[in-house]
Amino acid sequence: MSSTATPAASPAPAAKPLAKNEGLKASSNFLRGNILRDLADQSTGGISEDSSQLTKFHGIYAQDDRDLRNQLRREGKEKAFSFMARIRVPGGVCTPAQWVTLDALADSHANGTLKLTTRQAFQFHGILKGNLWGAINAVNRALLDTLAACGDVNRNVMCNPNPEQSELHAETYRVTKAISEHLLPRTKAYHEIWVGGDTLVAGGEPESEPIYGATYLPRKFKIVVAVPPSNDVDIYAHDLGFIAIPDASGKKLLGFNITVGGGLGMSHNQAETFPRIADVLGFCRVDQVTDVAEKILTTQRDFGDRTDRKHARLKYTIADRGIVWFREEVERRLGYRLGSPRAFEFTHMGDRYGWVEGENGTSHYTLFLMSGRIKDTAQLKLKTALREIALAHKGDFRLTANQNLIIAGVRPEERPVIEALLKKHGLDTANDISGLARNAMSCVALPTCGLALAESERYLPELVSLLENELEAAGLRHDEITLRITGCPNGCGRPYLAEIGFVGKSPGKYNIYLGAAFNGSRLNTLYKPNVPETEIVATLGPIIRRYALERNRGERFGDFVHRTGYVKQTGTPSDFHDKVGGAAAAAPA
């Protein structure tokens, strides 16, 4: 696999000034900035705005408790600052020992919970400034890290979370790790600040970022690897995707179809921002994958819009310049042509719950976790249960792209122990969960997310049960329907790929989107804007009842609402925006 970096091409002359973050990156001395100074400042629980932009590259977000904001403002006090740290877990694979460490750190350094994200990572919330260095340092000592979990770089690389399911899955995981390592930033700043000196990095050589350059990427960049027929990683939502193509035996990896230009974030009523489904670009062999990933990333590095962060993702570069231009530019950098895409089929997104047998005699249990939040409550001691399982488990854990957890690689002699622990804690209920809950996902939103306009994680249980009542009454309790909710239009819970999507508009009000494909290959469409929580059942109940009565055999909910005319896709901004402001002429490509 190639490791040669393409020198940065001269960017086209920019008519508009560069975005502020560009100057910040350039002058940060490879992401150092004033982070150390700000950490040492004990006069505040926060850090400066510039440092809060730079710490993102270190996987750390400055936040404040939004539940307390108004009260503290009234009292003339500083916001209740704390930090979120995102731990990168390529392919979602972590060991039981790492789990036990993170479980303990959540109590000693954060808010006592662990959060599994929609991109196979862990998050700590509520880390106070005085605990931040200790938390990140301890994460590194557990042989995990937070480097490049956020920021204008390639983020955590996702793949089907079960490498032990088959040799094909295992090979795909190895490729995922190779991509992840190849595209990691090379700055020593992270280790200097959080690990202590250059403990893990050979010193001496002048610092450089051979792939990124000193200003990194125009914006975040996300890569996933999928193994059909499962589209569990939501490949069409990502900047770059690789679809595993097996050889004729079906057991060995032949290569990958490449997808580019997916992305979901948008801003309400700004038509020039929109979710976009990735295009299939071509095919490459296994030994070409890191080279292809690098050249696609550097194309975006050089042509992405550095003047406007709302227009800086790869999806806009491709929407503006066209996929043909993009392929030619990537092939020019590669020095060879990409192959024609091979046939593939995705049948579903999401996770398959309960026990699955692997090819090597081990088995794997997928556990449903509401919003990926791991905590103890009066009803369910989930955190305690998973700690006990981690202490007994000899295999691995796999974080899924849907905020769930796989207890993986369970040997036959170990299985009774794990089964007993699942039963003891009431976690052996995979088959009792409704079809809607099994396919439900939310983003974090309030109280930690600074961008939330409405509740999401805290509202999901109520929303699910409201709609479950309707489905139950219509005889559809076990039908699988995808439901996703986010507290704002940024799309962290991938709501535009749900058959029923809720996107926060203001406190207690949501835009309702309907009609994405069950296999993740079609975005949904705005059905009704600004729906108050109190009107959700009245809005969706009649559609659910009609679906029960009039659907064709095997017809998915998302397809039904298209056939019966509740929504239709036009390819214009009104698919996503209720009112159109900004540069309304730009339509989704």
Check if 449 is active-site. yes
Q: Which two tokens stand for residue 19?
A: 């975005």
Size of the residue set binding ligand SF4 (CB under 6 A): 13
Task: Residue 27: count other Cβ atoms within 10 Å of its Cβ.
Answer: 11
Per CB under 6 A, does 452 bind ligand SF4? yes
Q: Report yes or no: 588 and 273 within 8 Å, Cβ to Cβ.
A: no
Q: Which two tokens stand for residue 112?
A: 């006592």
**Could you give the residue ranges of the DSSP H alpha helices within 17-79?**
20-26, 35-40, 49-54, 69-74
Q: How far is the CB of 445 from ligand SF4 (least distance, A)?
A: 4
**Among residues 449, 484, 494, 505, which one is catalytic?**
449
Per CB under 6 A, does 487 bind ligand SF4? yes
- Among positions 367-426, residues that touch ligand SRM (CB under 6 A) are 372, 403
Which amino acid is present at 413?
E
Which amino acid is present at 134?
G
Per CB under 6 A, does 150 bind ligand SF4? no
**Among residues 488, 505, 522, 556, which one is catalytic?**
488
Among 491, 501, 558, 573, which residue interacts with ligand SRM (rule: CB under 6 A)? 491
Q: How far is the CB of 456 from ligand SF4 (least distance, A)?
A: 5
**Could you give the residue ranges of the DSSP H alpha helices within 60-146?**
69-74, 96-109, 129-141
Task: Residue 541: count other Cβ atoms within 10 Å of its Cβ.
Answer: 17
Among 19, 142, 227, 443, which residue interacts with ligand SF4 (rule: CB under 6 A)? 443
User: Using CA atoms, how far apart are residues 257 and 240, in angstroms rounded to an integer?
Assistant: 11
Per CB under 6 A, does 237 bind ligand SRM? yes
Residue 487 binding: pick among ligand SF4, ligand SRM, none (C-beta 5-8 Å cut-off by kind): ligand SF4
Per CB under 6 A, does 155 bind ligand SRM? yes
Among 28, 154, 156, 482, which residue interacts with ligand SRM (rule: CB under 6 A)? 156
Per CB under 6 A, does 492 bind ligand SF4? yes
- Among positions 86-115, residues that touch ligand SRM (CB under 6 A) are 86
Phi-psi region of 473 (alpha: psi -120 to 50; beta: other; left: phi over 0): alpha
Per CB under 6 A, does 123 bind ligand SF4? no
Q: Which two tokens stand for residue 496?
A: 């535009």
Distances from the Cα of 42 to the Cα of 46, 126, 157, angstroms: 9, 17, 36
Instruction: Please count the helices (runs of H) and the strands (runs of E) in the chain.
Output: 17, 20
User: Using CA atoms, how far apart are residues 536 and 385, in angstroms rounded to an integer?
Assistant: 34
**Structure letter (DSSP) for residue 277:** P
Q: Report yes or no: 374 and 115 within 8 Å, Cβ to Cβ.
A: yes
Q: How far is the CB of 454 from ligand SF4 (least distance, A)?
A: 8
Check if 488 is active-site. yes
Q: How far is the CB of 448 from ligand SRM (least distance, A)?
A: 3
Check if 310 is active-site. no
Q: How far is CA 150 from the centre of its chain?
A: 11
- Among positions 51-70, residues that touch ligand SRM (CB under 6 A) are 61, 63
Q: How far is the CB of 261 from ligand SRM (least distance, A)?
A: 11
Check if 309 is active-site. no
Question: What three-state secondary structure class fits 324?
Answer: helix
Residue with tokens 């059909």: 228
Per CB under 6 A, does 31 bind ligand SF4? no
Nearer to ligand SF4, 404 or 486 (CB): 486
Q: Which residue is nearest to ligand SRM (CB)?
A: 265
**Structure letter (DSSP) for residue 509:** E
Distances from the Cα of 458 to the Cα of 94, 335, 540, angstroms: 27, 50, 21
Q: Report yes or no: 453 and 506 within 8 Å, Cβ to Cβ.
A: yes
User: Using CA atoms, how far apart are residues 366 and 383, in angstroms rounded to an integer?
Assistant: 16
Check if 150 is active-site. no
**Among residues 443, 494, 505, 556, which one is catalytic?**
443
Nearer to ligand SRM, 410 or 526 (CB): 526
Q: How far is the CB of 312 from ligand SRM (least distance, A)?
A: 8
Piece of 317-325, 458-466, 485-493, 548-556 that binds ligand SF4 (CB under 6 A): 485-493
Binding site for ligand SF4 (CB under 6 A): 443-445, 449, 451-452, 456, 486-488, 490-492
The residues assigned a catalytic role are: 86, 155, 220, 222, 443, 449, 488, 492
Binding site for ligand SRM (CB under 6 A): 61, 63, 84, 86, 117-119, 121, 123, 155-156, 222, 234, 237, 263-265, 313, 372, 403, 443-444, 448-451, 490-494
